[in-house]
Amino acid sequence: MSDPGALKKGALTSATYDTVLQIGLRIMSFVLNAFIVRQVSRESFAVMSVRLHLLYSTGLLLSREAFRRAALSSKGNKEIYKVINLLWTGTLVSLPVGLLGWYIWMYVMEQPPESVTRHYSYGVLLILTSVVTEVIAEVPFVLAELQLWSKTKVVIEGVMQLLRSLLLALFVFLWPMHSVLVFGISQMLGSIVYSASYYIVFMRALRRKEDSSLPIHEFNQLLPKWSNGKMLPEVDHELGLLSWSFFKQGWLKEALTEGEHYIMNFFPLISLNQQGVYQVVNNLGSLAARLVFRSIEAAAYKYFAQMLYRGKSIKDQDQSRVAEVSRFFLSLFSNLILVSLLIITFGWSYSRTLLQIYGGSQLSDDDGTLLMRAQCFYVVFLAVNGITEAYTFAVMDDAELSSLRFISDQYKDSEYQPLQIDWVSGRPFFVFASCLALTTVSEAVVYPRSIILHIIFGFLCLILVAYLLRMEFKPVFEKLFDILDSCTRKLIGEGSPGNMLNPLVITKYLRRFLYGSTKK
């Protein structure tokens, strides 16, 4: 698919579906974690949510991330078997990665006490098997992404996470003393459903033979293909170099994103109980990054990778595409920073409230509130890093992946400046600063007397911010209105045009109130 409009629409649709999925999953995870924390000890919760989850994320990052990013950069259907062979290489890599992970988690890291976490060794093996199982599904996953089958990813990942969460909650309720073992079982069952679902989707699509744009026509083309006289499956040379560059970058990314978890597990700086408290606070504080930024980053990467050619200068690219990419980047970049500032503004004054509601005084007292506030500031760096990383990884060649200041240097001699934001010192900062001052006063004066009134005051401030910055947030609001309208039409149709409770009528008047017109 090479049409710029279709690519942009596909990327936005993918980000929208993925964001909706992540919001649903995180709300469910929010509730279930509150339930699980009350069923198991803090130490057991730390082993599940910190140590075993770290093994799972590390295994997936090192086994599939590099090959997935490189394959998503491929354009056209020429020699698709080489792309498929490259993705199967990830399965081969997952075996030594899993063996190394097993050795480190079993013999290098300090073992948790048996009295606290039974069946730890089985939990490690189940997590590693889960990693290999998911990597096996990379071929149909990438082909579905290249076809912009956004709903497929949302449905399959949604079912997998829902199954894992419900099974874990049920198992922990029935057998709380075996929480680590049932965590591994839940992960493994979810991975089996995930991989099987992708292959079933392609089996049905190939059987119907309705989509002629598919790069493959038989189910056995999903498997690796050997050339005569070759010991290993042949891969595309350029994509192979990109994969190696991404693989090297993966180690650095892992150290930056999971560094604190490695420190906690390799060095006895804090107890398992403290790790459990930290993880709860960390999960709550990083909700924005998990809900929005990760989905947008993944969709933007696909868009940039398909719109621009890797390794070419801006002058040698299609200028209409360069202009479109520059506008898209600037809009996305500025809106992510706005959302980050919004999180800081309200996160500072409502961190204590959230922790008190979620886990009681054991979370909100002492350092829990300070840690949550620090997480809110961290969101700004996540937003900037996410979108710039998506762009650079999509358009750098294998040599440039080790350079710095890539985006500004690339556009240095161009009329386009995607990093130039001219509003950062104006109205938004004044509005956010004023709101931060008001909510801070509310936390000091109103919160000790009534949490409910403190929350109501914050909600009113949020509405005020949304109105005052309605022009800056216009792309975000319009996208939300479109989602609401689309969902309404699918569920209830157009409905009565005069019914004020109809969401279509509500969004119509909201558009008129905010922007003076019902037209976009």
pLDDT: which is higher, 257 or 324: 324
pLDDT: which is higher, 402 or 381: 381
- pLDDT tens profile 36-77: 777 777 778 788 888 898 899 889 988 888 888 888 877 655
Q: How far is CA 364 from CA 26, 226, 369, 447, in A?
A: 21, 58, 5, 13
pLDDT surpassing 70 at residue 424: no
d(C-alpha 238, C-alpha 68), whole Å: 14
Among 38-52, 276-290, 330-344, which stretch is predicted with the lowest mean pLDDT?
276-290
- pLDDT tens profile 73-129: 776 555 788 888 888 888 888 999 999 999 999 988 888 877 767 788 899 999 999
Confidence of residue 359 (pLDDT cuts 50, 70, 90): low
Among 5-19, 214-228, 353-367, which stretch is predicted with the lowest mean pLDDT?
5-19
pLDDT at 239: 80
- pLDDT tens profile 244-264: 888 877 777 777 677 777 887
Other residues' Cβ atoms within 10 Å of the Cβ of residue 382: 21
- Sequence-ordered list of residues with C-beta below 8 angstroms from that of 67, at least 6 positions apart, any chain: 86, 87, 89, 90, 93, 138, 243, 246
pLDDT at 411: 66
pLDDT at 404: 47
pLDDT at 520: 46
pLDDT surpassing 90 at residue 189: yes
The answer to whether residues 451 and 353 touch, using CB atoms and an 8 Å cutoff, is yes
387-392, long-range: CB < 8 A, 24+ apart: 387/296, 387/297, 387/300, 387/329, 387/332, 387/333, 387/336, 388/333, 389/297, 390/297, 390/298, 390/300, 390/301, 390/304, 391/300, 391/301, 391/304, 391/329
d(C-alpha 195, C-alpha 138), whole Å: 8
d(C-alpha 107, C-alpha 429), whole Å: 51
Confidence of residue 243 (pLDDT cuts 50, 70, 90): confident
pLDDT at 158: 81
pLDDT surpassing 70 at residue 319: yes
- pLDDT tens profile 190-205: 999 999 999 998 888 8
d(C-alpha 89, C-alpha 84), whole Å: 9
With a pLDDT cut of 90, the percent of the chain lying above it is: 12
Tokens representing residue 474 in the block: 């216009």
Q: Once rounded to an integer, what is the mean pLDDT over residues 355-383?
A: 74
pLDDT at 126: 95
| Helices and strands (H, E) in the chain, number of each type | 21, 0
d(C-alpha 75, C-alpha 27), whole Å: 37
3 state DSSP class of 2: coil
pLDDT surpassing 90 at residue 134: yes
Other residues' Cβ atoms within 10 Å of the Cβ of residue 460: 11
Confidence of residue 26 (pLDDT cuts 50, 70, 90): low
Q: Once rounded to an integer, what is the mean pLDDT over residues 321-335?
A: 82
pLDDT surpassing 50 at residue 1: no
pLDDT: which is higher, 442 or 410: 442
193-197, long-range: CB < 8 A, 24+ apart: 193/159, 193/160, 193/163, 194/133, 194/134, 194/137, 194/156, 194/157, 194/159, 194/160, 195/133, 195/134, 195/136, 195/137, 197/156, 197/159, 197/160
3 state DSSP class of 298: helix
Q: Once rounded to an integer, what is the mean pLDDT over residues 362-367?
A: 66
The whole-chain average pLDDT of the chain stands at: 78
d(C-alpha 455, C-alpha 438), whole Å: 13
CA atoms within 13 A on the CB side of 75: 13
- Sequence-ordered list of residues with C-beta below 8 angstroms from that of 359, at least 6 positions apart, any chain: 34, 37, 280
pLDDT surpassing 80 at residue 358: no
The answer to whether residues 347 and 339 touch, using CB atoms and an 8 Å cutoff, is no
Confidence of residue 437 (pLDDT cuts 50, 70, 90): very high
What secondary structure does DSSP assign to 169-205, as a single string?
HHHHHH-GGGHHHHHHHHHHHHHHHHHHHHHHHHHHH
Tokens representing residue 64 in the block: 């599939």
With a pLDDT cut of 70, the percent of the chain lying above it is: 77
d(C-alpha 44, C-alpha 180), whole Å: 7
d(C-alpha 373, C-alpha 371), whole Å: 5
Strand runs labelled E in 61-146: none
- Sequence-ordered list of residues with C-beta below 8 angstroms from that of 464, at least 6 positions apart, any chain: 435
- What type of residue is 8? K
The answer to whether residues 162 and 221 touch, using CB atoms and an 8 Å cutoff, is no
Q: Once rounded to an integer, what is the mean pLDDT over residues 155-172?
A: 86
pLDDT: which is higher, 485 or 177: 177
Angle at alpha carbon of residue 291, lines to 423 and 38, rounded to 5°: 135
Phi, psi (5° rounding) for residue 73?
Answer: -85, -10
Tokens representing residue 468 in the block: 């005052």
- What type of residue is 3? D
- pTM score of the predicted model: 0.65
pLDDT surpassing 90 at residue 178: no
The answer to whether residues 42 and 272 touch, using CB atoms and an 8 Å cutoff, is yes
pLDDT at 186: 92
Q: How far is CA 112 from CA 48, 124, 268, 315, in A?
A: 11, 12, 11, 57
